[in-house]
Structure 1
């Protein structure tokens, strides 16, 4: 990193006092152009935009221009304010992430990472010592190093955040974040460094007037460059033409001042990102690349644009300023030539000057590096023989013989030192505007890596065997048929391309049916009619007929391929085999239907059972009542005397009859509860009276038993709103269980209390108790505890289920506490009368 003294020596003296003044002079100008509040607002808006338009399913944004704004905010502010500004960046960036839908913890971690990146970039630019600038090649190197260091820092922090909090992949996320943030800094920060530090409108106008281009020519160059970018990245454009953008960008860099070039690159960046997000451009080829991979390629392209244009324009601007100073100081033409040679040798662009015969007169150092020959060996050689591959040289000579001449942009194949081919885009222009047949200046750029990337994308598309990708023209003639389509339908690309329509391998009955729905003629139009009408891709299932006669179900998405003006010039169909998935879905639907019918049948059986129980119970109750009545009548000797043995038998008949009648009543109550027809006749009750009546009905059960009954009903009434008959049944069932399951010598306690808006009835016994693992089934119908079964205590297992249902019907609850040989306690909670 250079010191402030070294940096000052690298720059020409600026006529603008604010440009070289002390650091505090920056802030007044910055207050007009990029005040902290405005910058933070811009960071918030750009951050939200980047997260909101991130690729679907991606954990990181495709492009982060807010990184450049954040770095500019710190780099152009006094170091004493960095801490406060960094904290503000944490808050603003976190807010942008949260507003865009990210979790709070992840958003805060990303906010810290973004602020860290801004601090690293500002520090690496040397902003802690002196105001950074962008005027020389050394400044450009510092900018590149700073952006890479900042990208590495945020890449590490962001990838750790994604890995730890969102189960992402560390290295993959690091690479994607590095690309998006390096591109964001390299695109946005030059605009701030060139436009913000105190330059007035008048100074910018003088810079514009001092450039090589007239106003009209500059506007044309900018418009053409943006137009080429829009065409190359337009939706539906699949040709590998990304390298076409670079020559026009070089022309802009050669003709306009640095600040204008920086704005041009920023506009290109916005345009490329927006069009790529909309599915356009060569980096989104037929949907075969993951959105994150496409985004990384786009950011790499933007970095290439910056590295191509900015060093060149800075070198030319430095040359112009130096020549101006030399002329003022009496410099001669030889100095200018030497300086021009030094500038040309410092650029990565390939620059060759040839005479009228096509022989090389001058070449810069970049040509020597790419070709591997010294300038001494190149000068005097024929351009095509010395630099081009044999086949490319023959083509180049043919263009010369035809009389057209090598004008405009050409795609040439240069020869590397090892003999391998290098792809170069070259622009030919006359050295003197008034002599188009004289010496030519050939400006080129090595785009081998971009061409190889395009070839790789094409190879990936051709290697996609699980998905069919089929392109057609507007009339349905197939123009592209990938390997996945060949594998799917069994026809080869040679059989289909230029010879057939996709309708060939579709089920004819489906085409006819769809044509009737749309009101169109059967044929290719059924696939694209809705796409033509709405402009929106259409997805639906179709049946493909393979060449061997078998069929398969595919999910086909059809979209339109359009020109820049929106004119449709073809269609693209992407199909995936979903045969097994659809079979599984149909099987699942069938299984669910069977399940539904089974559940309905079970409900019907349950209803029939409930009706049967109810009907049978009603039929049993009438004769049982007669049996009990006649038994009591005989026992009173109203129809004649009975002896003691007969009286005992009548007592047994009555006792058994009452047990059977209780069972019938329980069954009727249970049937009413299950059918939802239990009619609760609620009224205001004193719960003490309910307990007393229930005890009176159980006097016969207590007669002859050695049990201690403790009754604590309290002195004050306990009012509830309920059905007296059903509540009596509840208390009777609880007391009956306590009597049955408590051996002689035991104790039964009944306590009634009032607690706020709840009445609490507690029934405890010292009986045999209930095993702990059976208590969760205690209120189930027909369940009997194992202890009761072993002790042969009679019962049906219905009493507690009825108690539970009645209590719940009154808005109450019931609890049980029990242990084997330690007794059982039931506590009933009922709402008091309101």
Structure 2
């Protein structure tokens, strides 16, 4: 328990103990319940402590009550203990009802809280009175029914007068100053004292009620309850001394248990009048504050909505609200538009357009009425004219204003300036139209290019094929045995012709890979089979070379959705490139790594060749690019092999890369995506 709360509980229990002893000692002779024991303080102490400390505080309450009653000569220890248990049970009942079974703290903010407070007072007083009655019956201590009635009345007043002091603070409630507070308290002390001195003027007690009502009207609920405690203390003290209107012979000759009934009823009436009145005033005061805050908040929202025009009118359509946003968008000041009709913002052509769309008469009043009848939140596009004559397009929501009595009092329009957005959309639409035309043109160009490449390749391939054919006849001696010089010349012609045929094939392949309309034969292929077949094609080129070529593939199939021919071409391009740039005595490894749970299959071709300079790596996969080292070594090639490999990798969703250490070798790698073995829509 926090130290501050523990100190507060200690002070409350100490005060309850002191007042309890006083109530027992001041009780009328022959009484059996004491004189208004302060049960509200005991219940309040239990209500404000955390749940885990409830048992301890209740135990202390039982002990204190037992001790206070034990000081009275007529109370035995058993009776005092029984009364102590009764007050402890009463405090537990009050705590449980107040906090709704430990679920929340206790406040007095509305009528539900007031109902709970009344229920607490009645329920806890009844629980305590029941125990007091039982103790009276068990120990033959007075008349049980009389003891129960007297205990219920005294405890009901004690709860109603004191328990309200322990409610949770809910913010400032009072609305009067220190001078008025001092006067009110001074009059309360003076009038209560004067009213409870004479024995034969009962009407003087009613002078206290106006003061209680004034405090309820001007002060806080907590202060009202404190005033009620002070009035009760003065009235009880003076009545106990035989003074006041409730000490005449009519009541002093009554049964000892009922001698305090007039004081109990008076204090109960004061509590039941002042507490509800105070709560009603507080609720009304809080509602008024909330209304002012809401109005201020609405005003701040209107003032802060710089990008939105908010225009309000009265029932005749005259402007009475013109927000800073409206001022910024339309260029008018509020003084220039107040009292004017919103008709000033629109042209005749705009009104006619709106009337045609809404199907109403082409008058501004008809258009406004038809717009107001649209479903709430319906936005319409209106053309406004600024003060400087520049038109602006606003998306406007037009809403009628209905007051609390259901009467129409005006309109409010919220408008968002969408002129720039509409202009931007027009520009974007124009750009999209231009882009669509460009795409169409590119498609046409691509088709022309394909036709051109196909035509040129056909026109080139046919004569070159004839040249190669006749060269083979010449070299075979069909037209006479050639000499050594002729054989050498024909070998050169044959080699360059075949290089030209290879170049034409590469151009055709690259063109088809980049064609928009190209249709691929996609199916599930086994990369192990693809790599093995490519190895068989490349390996004969090693017969005249001193190179070691190693094939490293998994034992199990590696599935992939793709074009088997294109994938085979990718492996061949990597392998032949490695063969060309690896000197004799070198080593080439063609490696295939199967897919895992987190990565797709990987193809690698590693060589111990000449390597690639750093400045050449960025251009490796560019068409027709050949490294400086290739030119230095005179390695033949068109510069299309790696660009074709990249195109094949791209259409299969793979990521191609190359790493190299100049002078020590290179590794070309394609990482296929995970799940590439699943059939998807092309």
**TM-score surpassing 0.5?**
yes
Q: 637, 645, 660: which is aligned to 2:485?
A: 645
Q: 519, 540, 552: which is aligned to 1:677?
A: 519
Contact 1:539 1:557 in 2 (8 A): yes
Q: Secondary structure at the match of 1:197?
A: helix
1:690 is aligned to 533
Residue 501 of structure 1 pairs with residue 332 of structure 2: no
CA distance, structure 2, for counterparts of residue 195 and residue 753 of structure 1? 85
Q: Secondary structure at the match of 2:373?
A: helix
Q: 474, 480, 489: which is aligned to 1:634?
A: 474
Contact 1:730 1:806 in 2 (8 A): yes
Residue 79 of structure 1 pairs with residue 53 of structure 2: yes
Contact 2:531 2:568 in 1 (8 A): no
CA distance, structure 2, for counterparts of residue 730 and residue 780 of structure 1? 15
Q: 117, 121, 127: which is aligned to 1:194?
A: 117
CA distance, structure 2, for counterparts of residue 726 and residue 458 of structure 1? 69
Q: Deviations over 1:542-594 (max 9, x none)?
A: 22224443333334332110133544332112345554455455445545554
Equivalent residue runs for 1:562-581 within 5 Å: 562-564=402-404, 566-580=406-420
Q: Who wins on radius of gyration, i.e. which is larger?
A: 2
1:709 is aligned to 548
CA drift of 1:747 comes to 0.9
Residue 512 of structure 1 pairs with residue 352 of structure 2: yes
2:400 is aligned to 560
Q: 640, 657, 661: which is aligned to 1:798?
A: 640
CA distance, structure 2, for counterparts of residue 482 and residue 729 of structure 1? 71
Q: Secondary structure at the match of 2:122?
A: coil
Residue 748 of structure 1 pairs with residue 591 of structure 2: no
Distance 1:7 1:528, change over 3 A: farther
Q: Deviations over 1:782-807 (max 9, x none)?
A: 44445445655443332123234446
CA drift of 1:200 comes to 4.7
Distance 1:541 1:800, change over 3 A: same
CA drift of 1:646 comes to 1.2
Contact 2:595 2:602 in 1 (8 A): no
Residue 3 of structure 1 pairs with residue 32 of structure 2: no
Q: Secondary structure at the match of 1:638?
A: coil
CA drift of 1:473 comes to 4.1
CA distance, structure 1, for counterparts of residue 333 and residue 355 of structure 2? 28
Residue 819 of structure 1 pairs with residue 661 of structure 2: yes
1:248 is aligned to none
Q: Deviations over 1:257-310 (max 9, x none)?
A: x99xx9xxxxxxxxxxxxxxxxxxxxxxxxxxxxxxxxxxxxx9x9677879xx
Q: What TM-score do you get using the length of structure 2 for normalisation?
A: 0.56
Distance 1:200 1:790, change over 3 A: farther
Q: Secondary structure at the match of 1:199?
A: helix
Q: Secondary structure at the match of 1:647?
A: helix
Distance 1:635 1:750, change over 3 A: farther
Residue 529 of structure 1 pairs with residue 370 of structure 2: yes
CA drift of 1:662 comes to 1.1
Q: Deviations over 1:66-92 (max 9, x none)?
A: xxxxxx8x769563599xxxxxxxxxx
Q: Secondary structure at the match of 1:544?
A: strand
Distance 1:629 1:530, change over 3 A: same
CA drift of 1:631 comes to 1.6
Q: Secondary structure at the match of 1:570?
A: strand
2:311 is aligned to 470
Equivalent residue runs for 1:241-260 within 5 Å: none
Cα root mean square deviation, aligned? 5.9
Q: Deviations over 1:140-169 (max 9, x none)?
A: xxx9xxxxxxxxxxxxxxxxxxxxxxxxxx
CA distance, structure 2, for counterparts of residue 605 and residue 799 of structure 1? 24
CA drift of 1:517 comes to 1.4
Q: What TM-score do you get using the length of structure 1 for normalisation?
A: 0.47
Distance 1:478 1:810, change over 3 A: closer
CA distance, structure 2, for counterparts of residue 833 and residue 585 of structure 1? 41
Contact 1:541 1:556 in 2 (8 A): yes
CA distance, structure 2, for counterparts of residue 797 and residue 710 of structure 1? 23
Equivalent residue runs for 1:285-684 within 5 Å: 332-333=201-202, 336=205, 339-340=208-209, 342-343=211-212, 346=215, 349=218, 466=306, 468-474=309-315, 476-480=317-321, 489=330, 497-498=338-339, 500-522=340-362, 523-534=364-375, 536-564=376-404, 566-580=406-420, 582-591=422-431, 593-595=433-435, 597-598=437-438, 601-602=441-442, 604-675=444-515, 676-679=518-521
1:769 is aligned to 611
1:166 is aligned to none
Residue-pair matches, total:
494
Distance 1:614 1:820, change over 3 A: farther
Distance 1:688 1:529, change over 3 A: closer
Contact 2:16 2:42 in 1 (8 A): no
Contact 1:752 1:761 in 2 (8 A): yes
Between 1:629-638 and 1:461-470, the stretch displaced more is: 461-470
CA distance, structure 1, for counterparts of residue 199 and residue 368 of structure 2? 75
2:239 is aligned to none
CA drift of 1:336 comes to 2.0
Q: Deviations over 1:724-772 (max 9, x none)?
A: 75555344322321232234x4413245678689998754322221245
CA distance, structure 1, for counterparts of residue 34 and residue 385 of structure 2? 75
Contact 2:535 2:551 in 1 (8 A): no
CA distance, structure 1, for counterparts of residue 663 and residue 108 of structure 2? 80
Distance 1:20 1:657, change over 3 A: same
Distance 1:453 1:783, change over 3 A: same
CA distance, structure 2, for counterparts of residue 453 and residue 760 of structure 1? 68
Q: Secondary structure at the match of 1:524?
A: helix
Q: Deviations over 1:628-668 (max 9, x none)?
A: 22222211111222111111111111111111111111111
CA distance, structure 2, for counterparts of residue 795 and residue 581 of structure 1? 55
Distance 1:468 1:693, change over 3 A: closer
Distance 1:731 1:572, change over 3 A: closer
Q: Deviations over 1:103-155 (max 9, x none)?
A: xxxxxxxxxxxxxxxxxxxxxxxx9xx78999xxxx9xxx9xxxxxxxxxxxx
CA drift of 1:10 comes to 9.1
Contact 2:381 2:395 in 1 (8 A): yes
CA distance, structure 2, for counterparts of residue 673 and residue 765 of structure 1? 27
Equivalent residue runs for 1:145-294 within 5 Å: 186=109, 190-191=113-114, 194-195=117-118, 197=120, 199-200=122-123
CA drift of 1:329 comes to 11
Equivalent residue runs for 1:20-39 within 5 Å: 20=40
Distance 1:612 1:199, change over 3 A: farther
